[in-house]
């Protein structure tokens, strides 16, 4: 299987944002549920525990990472069904993430943004988000989960070039 990288790097005001976009033939509410309901996030990324809502703290499991670790997450914004922003803290640092959904003509677009810390290595982060977003697509259609080896290290060079 050939998997092509799709991410882009946006540099604004001295900051870097990794942006990936996916589209689904589904109502926005259904895609929103795929990225916010614990039983559905468990199918592509990992379950979460706690009470959802802006300003709340939850625990998020990265079920498909080595050891299936849990991390602390803060819900920075939760605006159903269009915007979710969270900050996670784990052994790799703090990650600021955002998902923005829009629907037009029965197709929902998901724009995923990882607001990168200055020392974040996009050549490692990018392939990981490509994998997880494709896993989301697979979970939504009951398809087989993608193989991470199709993403890393094969996408590393693409993401390194974005830094140039």
Q: Give 39's contacts (C-beta < 8 A, 6+ positions apart).
A: 47
Residue 55: inside a domain, yes or no? no
Q: Which residue has the higher pLDDT, 93 or 76?
A: 76
Q: Is residue 103 part of a domain?
A: yes
**Biggest CA pair distance of the chain:** 42
Q: Is residue 132 part of a domain?
A: yes
| pLDDT tens by residue, 38-87 | 999 999 999 999 999 999 999 999 999 999 999 999 999 999 999 999 99
pTM for the structure as a whole: 0.95
Position 1 pLDDT exceeds 70: no
For the segment 140-162, the average pLDDT, to the nearest whole number, is: 96
Report, in angstroms and rounded to the nearest whole number, the Rg of the chain calculated over CA atoms. 15
As for how many domains the chain has, the answer is 1
Residue 19 — φ and ψ, nearest 5°?
-125, 130
Domain residue limits at 99: 8-33+78-162
Where residue 136 sits, what CATH number does that domain have?
A: 3.30.530.20
Which pLDDT belongs to residue 91? 76
Is the residue at 25 inside a domain? yes
Please state, rounded to an integer, the average pLDDT across all residues of the chain: 95
Question: Tens digit of pLDDT for each residue in 13-23?
Answer: 999 999 999 99
Where residue 2 falls among pLDDT bands split at 50, 70, 90? low
Q: At 99, list the tokens.
A: 């998902």
Residue 117 falls inside a structural domain: yes
Q: Does any domain span residue 150?
A: yes
**Tokens 């640092």 -> residue:** 93
Please give the DSSP secondary-structure letter assigned to residue 148.
G
């Amino acid at each position: 299987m050939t998997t092509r990288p799709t991410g882009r790097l946006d540099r604004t005001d001295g900051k870097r944002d990794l942006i990936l976009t996916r589209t689904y033939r589904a109502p926005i509410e259904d895609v929103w549920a795929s990225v916010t309901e614990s039983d559905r996030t468990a199918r592509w990324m990992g379950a979460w525990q706690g009470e959802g809502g802006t300003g709340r703290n939850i625990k998020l499991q990265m079920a498909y990472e080595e050891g299936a670790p849990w991390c602390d997450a803060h819900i920075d914004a939760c605006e159903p069904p269009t915007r979710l922003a969270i900050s996670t803290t784990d052994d790799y640092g703090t990650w600021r993430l955002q998902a923005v959904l829009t629907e037009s003509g029965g197709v929902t677009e998901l724009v995923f943004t990882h607001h990168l810390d200055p020392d974040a290595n996009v050549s490692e982060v990018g392939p990981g988000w490509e994998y997880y977003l494709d896993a989301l697509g697979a979970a939504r259609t009951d398809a087989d989960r993608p193989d991470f080896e199709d993403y890393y290290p094969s996408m590393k060079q693409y993401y390194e070039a974005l830094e140039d």
